[in-house]
Structures are given as C-alpha cells and as structure tokens.
Amino acid sequence: MPELKSVYRHTSAFNEIEVTDLGFIRVLSFDGHRQSSMYLDSPFDTAFEYPSYFHIVLAIDPDASRALAIGLGGGTVVKRMWRDYRDMHVDAVEMDPDVVDVARRYFALPDDERIRVFVGEGRSFLESSRDDYDIVIVDAFDGDVIPAQLADRGFMQTLRARMSAGGAVAYNFMGALEGEASGPFAKLHATLSEAWRHVWVFAVDEGVEDDDLTNLVLVSSDAPVTTDVLLRRIAGRVDGRVSVPAFHLFGNDLWRGETH
C-alpha cells in the first residue's frame, strides 16, 4: 500500500487547503473534503468519475466553443476541455485566489490564451459579465452543499441571460434521489425544471462515504434534443469527439425516476 504524502497545506481566507499524494494519485482537499485528483504520470486524467460526466453537455451542444466553470478546484474539467476540444475557450471563476495558485502549481493547469481564470464569486461574476457561454458547469461547494446563491431562481435567470439558446448547464450535486434525504435534490431539480425545458440526471457511483448520498450530475437545456437523441450521441461519443474513459456507457446512469 503506497504511503500517503502531504505535499502542501495552507489555511486560506476560505479553506483549509491540502494536497496529498498516494502513489501516482494527487488529491486536492478543502477542509477534509476531497475536491479534485489527477494522476501524476497523466495530469489530464483523474481518479474521480464525476468530472467526466460534465462532458455530456457536448452531446447537447456538439458545436459548443465557450465554456464557464464556476468553481475551479484542481482544474480537472477546465484543462481536459482545453486539451480535448481545440476550438473551446474555457473561463473559470474561483472565489479563493490560493486555490488558483494551487491549481497552477500542483495540478498542471495550463497557462494559455484559451483559458481565463477569474477570482470572485460565481453569481456576481455572471451578473457583471458581458460574455455569453454555450456551457456552464457549476461545481462549487460549501462543505458538501452548493451555496444557496448558486441554486436559486434568481441565479437561474442570471444563467439564462448569459447562455446561448442551445447551450447547457451542468451541476455537480451531493444528494439522494429518493427517500427522506432526497429533499435538497428535489428542490434543485424543481428549480432547474422551472428555468429549462429539459433536466437530465445522471447518478455517478463515486464511492461517497455517506451511504444515503451519491454524486449526481444534473444537466439542463432548452435545446431541441430528445432523451433518445442524447443517449445516442453519448453512445457514439458525440461522433467521436469525446474521449473521456467510458463516456459511451454514461447513458446507462441516466435516472428515469420522478421527484416528489
């Protein structure tokens, strides 16, 4: 069993940041919660599954060329989209400037004109932005909870104002699909459903410590894409454009239940 090695530890104004290495895997944690990982010998790949599901937005808008990530972490999705889609311009907004430094120093976030990183709060950034996006990925947490200002009706209106007509938004969420613990998921699903015509939910088997919760990726859009078309595009890797591991199987994780 490889030895766990602490590479970096720092208390910022927002987080207790720690970078650890376990064998060939590097992990970024905030306040003890794992946020990002990468393989030291393959820095564009990750040991976590959920970031790969964000690429489902390409099955909704295959011609997407402008993306925004709210929440940078180790930059997993930012650097992978930058590498895999040569015509993609990716912006990221991150509240903690120390996290931006860590992503560049320890997680191989590229310094390139197609990547712009802004320090600030996601909602305020969008409210003041003049840019439009085909893709918006919300992967920001306070502990295991999405900050309320990134999940209410007002934020959805702000999102719509900054998104192209056929674009898509993806949320990373920790929750339960059914049972007593499903209330927060049902609330976010309802809010997204009020704002967009389509909401698809993918359940990611990420090995979450709490047996009642799982990683859920919620994808919303007004694009004229049916579920059948979405699943066919996933199975075909969006005509081969998407290379993340096992992407062609992600349609099997589509949740077909109903919220209550």
Number of domains in the chain: 1
Tell whether 143 is covered by a domain: yes
Q: What is the pLDDT of residue 132?
A: 96
Residue 11 counted as domain residue: no
pLDDT computed for residue 214 by the predictor: 87
Domain assignment present for residue 85? The answer is: yes
The span from the CA of 251 to the CA of 76, in Å, is 22
Q: Pick from 236, 230, 237, 238: which is nearest to 254 by CA?
A: 230
d(CA 60, CA 117): 25
What pLDDT shows up at residue 173? 94
Locate 94 and state its tokens: 């991150």
- Which token pair is 185? 């998921």
**What pLDDT, on a 0 to 100 scale, did the predictor assign at position 260?**
62
Residue 131 in 3-state DSSP?
A: coil
- Residues 61-80: b if buried by 16+ CB within 10 A, e if exposed: beebebbbbbbbbbbbbbbb
> The domain containing residue 217 runs over which residues?
49-253
For residue 174, is it within any domain? Answer: yes
- Output the tens digit of pLDDT for each of the chain's 260 residues: 788 999 999 999 999 999 999 999 999 999 888 899 999 999 999 999 999 999 999 999 999 999 999 999 999 999 999 999 999 999 999 999 999 999 999 999 999 999 999 999 999 999 999 999 999 999 998 777 899 999 999 999 999 999 999 999 999 999 999 988 899 999 999 999 999 999 999 999 765 545 677 899 999 999 999 999 999 999 999 999 999 999 999 999 999 988 76
* Residue 229 domain flag: yes
Among positive and negative, which fits the CA dihedral 218, 65, 49, 122? negative
Q: What is the dihedral of CA 201, 250, 25, 20, to 10 degrees?
A: 0
Q: Any idea what the CATH number is for the domain that residue 128 is in?
A: 3.40.50.150
Phi, psi of 89 (to 5 degrees): -105, 125
Residue 38 is assigned to a structural domain of this protein: no
Asked if the structure places residue 25 within a domain, the reply is no
Cβ 120 vs Cβ 126: under 8 Å: no
Predicted confidence at residue 88, as pLDDT, reads 98
3-class state of residue 124 by DSSP: helix
Is 5 part of a structural domain of the chain?
A: no
Query: What whole-number distance in Å separates Cα of residue 108 and Cα of residue 227?
Result: 36
DSSP assignment of 174-221: EE-SSSGGGHHHHHHHHHHHHH-SEEEEEEE----SSTT-EEEEEEEE
Q: How far apart are CA 29 and CA 31, in angstroms?
A: 6
> Whole-angstrom Cα distance, residue 158 to residue 126?
7
